Amino acid sequence: MSSEEIVAESGKYLMNTYGRYPIALARGKGCWVWDEDGNKYLDFITGIAVNNLGHCHPNIVRAVTEQCKTLMQVSNLFHLEKQVEFARLLVENSFADRVFFCNSGTEANEGAIKLARKWGGANGGKYKIVHARDSFHGRTLGALSATNKKYQAGFKPLLPGFKGVPYGKIEPIEKALSDEKVCAVLLEPIQGENGVILPYENYLKDVRKLTKKKGVLLMLDEIQVGMGRTGKLFAYEHYGIKPDIMTLAKALGGGIPCGAFLATEEVAKNFTPGVHGTTLGGNPLAMSAGLAVIKTIMEDGLLDRTTASGEYFLGKLAVLRDSYPGLVKDVRGKGLILGIQFTSPEIAKDIVTRAMGKGLLSILTEHRVMRLLPPLIAGKKEIDQAIGIITAALDEASDA
């Protein structure tokens, strides 16, 4: 089928939940994808921060192919060597002592909220969660209760016990923590869906100090920024703090659905047999993919490469900001999560659409931002190509 035919069939058979681009993608390799009509795109969406190793990385393909021939699913009624091995690598490379595997980001946050409440119940009957008002934590009802109100419309009543505060400000959190029923603060270290928002440098340090003082857990949602995206395996490492709970998904399984929440022993011990579970979470297929992802990130020097590429990219974006002051308002990012904020929503949409027409995939997100999430394997060559396309789109928009 052609792209056009697939778009038409989508409109007939699928629930109408997504604002999709009118392109049907057929295959990918490294930093590139091709649509059903043979057009080639530089993929700086990467499945929304999933394909950190690029498309069809040979290590993931090999691991998953072998696993498919061996064992794909057995349930968590049994122990699995690959599940233990992946958990050990996550523990050895993070603050955490224990891991729970699930299938998606929202499910990871759901489990993390349950764990925080279990801990809170055992520590003075605390159950409330303080979260940033504009955040994105997922679409299931628990995670949605901690997410931007615009996604909540039509689904109320949500879970009670959630208190939203502005992101990046410490006083509102301090005030919220005067409520003795608060068990945890849940935050994204950098907000992705909200338009690549970086808080002030010491924000997480200040929040960590406060939560420690008040005896409250700090939960970090690293679903978008974890697994190397910012140049560290986990974004919290930039800020000299350690959370009590962290959630992961997206890049964790390299394209195979996989989520997880990680916690310290002190917190994790509140989960006992039967209190939480999943049929497919941690299955051999996802574990083999995840192991290939983490080993490749660690062994191929991708963290340092991401830092260098991110600095190079941000430097080039700053030149665009200075060259097109009427169109570009701000550029920002850390590692390879980057945003260009335009001067109006119309300009943002126009540039993202023009760039797509010229072969660059990027996401139009909140606050007039073009979000760029290149694979961590992208180098100067691909970044220069992207800059060339964005520059051409800006030139066209200036002339229009």
Q: Which residues bind ligand PLP (CB under 6 A)?
A: 48, 104-106, 109, 136-138, 188, 192-193, 221, 223-224, 249
| Shortest reach from residue 46's CB to ligand PLP, in Å | 12
- Token look-up 């047999």 returns 273
Q: Looking at beta carbons, which residue is closest to ligand PLP?
A: 105
Q: Closest approach of Cβ 109 to ligand PLP, in Å?
A: 6
Would you say 136 or 324 has its CB closer to ligand PLP? 136
Question: For 198-336, where are the E strands, in sequence order?
Answer: 217-221, 245-248, 259-263, 328-334
What is the token pair recorded at 362?
């990027």
Q: How many CB atoms lie within 10 A of CB 250?
A: 29
CB of 104 to ligand PLP, least distance (A): 4
Residue 194 or 270: the one with the smaller Cβ distance to ligand PLP is 194
Nearer of residues 306 and 365 to ligand PLP, judged by Cβ: 365
Active site residues per annotation = 136, 221, 250
Nearer to ligand PLP, 134 or 188 (CB): 188
Taking alpha carbons only, the member of 256, 224, 264 closest to residue 112 is 264
Task: Give min distance, CB of 169 to ligand PLP, in A.
Answer: 19
Minimum distance of ligand PLP from residue 294's CB (angstroms): 18
Ramachandran category for residue 196: left, alpha or beta (phi over 0 → left; psi -120 to 50 → alpha): left
Give the DSSP letter of residue 55.
B
Cβ-based nearer residue to ligand PLP, 53 or 190: 190
Instruction: Residue 128: name the closest of 142, 115, 117, 118 by CA.
Output: 117
Q: How far is CA 92 from CA 113, 236, 241, 313, 393, in A?
A: 23, 15, 16, 31, 45
Would you tell me how many other CB atoms lie within 10 Å of the CB of residue 223? Answer: 29
